[in-house]
Amino acid sequence: MNEKRKYKTKSHAPEPTLKRLPGYLYFLEQVKEEGVLNISAPTIGKELDLDPTQVVKDLAVTGVKGKPRVGYNTYELIHALEDFLGFNKVNEAFLVGAGNLGSALMAYQEHQSLGLKILAAFDVDEAKIGQTIGGIHILEYNKLFHLSGRLNVKIGILTTPNHVAQEVAEDLVNCGIKAIWNFTSAKINLPKEIIVQNTSMSSYAAVLLRRLNDASL
């Protein structure tokens, strides 16, 4: 591997920073559309409700330098962010469980801007096998083992029911998958070198409901 990067990026970025970066990227793409060539950290902070020094620190991880009195070069910053996040590469993925959520993810066109490319989806439901959603074919689950041999896919998107999540995850790992984007509520246990990214919507529900409840006291 050992890819060359255009900017001197931070080797390790804090997770809260990482989570904010796509927000900057989305905002910057909008202002670029409006023809803004340079933008300052305080301006970004005002729009996104963030402390200006926080913005400076966050953007520093990309290695891009801003100029005092001018700000950052919009175009340069966008590219550095995409580069840093890996959004400008093609990150190939398999999806398992083409149900409600799986279908939505397959149909989601903006994945391209994340550099995410779902090559194929797999399901056990006969009714779904053979269908195409968002240009992605739904294949028989067993085909996963054949296909993964030929392709070198590193990312698995897990949108099966909770109770099969563990076994499907293990299958994915046996197929050479290195990172699993887990949308199920199940806690999946895998060898520690496998990256498991849990994306629990109920966490957000918890925060929302609690804040709503706190507010109405």
Ligand X SMILES: NC(=O)c1ccc[n+]([C@@H]2O[C@H](COP(=O)([O-])OP(=O)(O)OC[C@H]3O[C@@H](n4cnc5c(N)ncnc54)[C@H](O)[C@@H]3O)[C@@H](O)[C@H]2O)c1
Q: Which residues bind its own copies (CB under 8 A)?
A: 1-2, 11-13, 15, 18-23, 26-27, 47-49, 84-87, 91, 100-101, 103-104, 107-108, 110, 114-116, 154-155, 162, 178-179, 181, 185-187, 193, 195, 197, 199-217
Q: Which of 22, 23, 42, 134 binds DNA (CB under 7 A)?
A: 42
Contacts of residue 129, Cβ cutoff 8 Å, sequence gap at least 6? 123, 138, 139, 140
Q: Which of 17, 73, 166, 198 binds DNA (CB under 7 A)?
A: 17
The total number of residues shown for the chain amounts to: 217
CB of 165 to ligand X, least distance (A): 7
On whether the CB atoms of residues 51 and 45 are closer than 8 A, the answer is yes
On whether the CB atoms of residues 50 and 40 are closer than 8 A, the answer is no
Angle between helices 165-174 and 143-150 (to 10 degrees): 30
CB of 18 to its own copies, least distance (A): 5
Structure token pair of residue 135: 């240009």
Among the candidate windows 38-46, 137-145, 165-173, 193-201, which touches DNA by CB under 7 A? 38-46
Q: Does 88 bind DNA (CB under 7 A)?
A: no
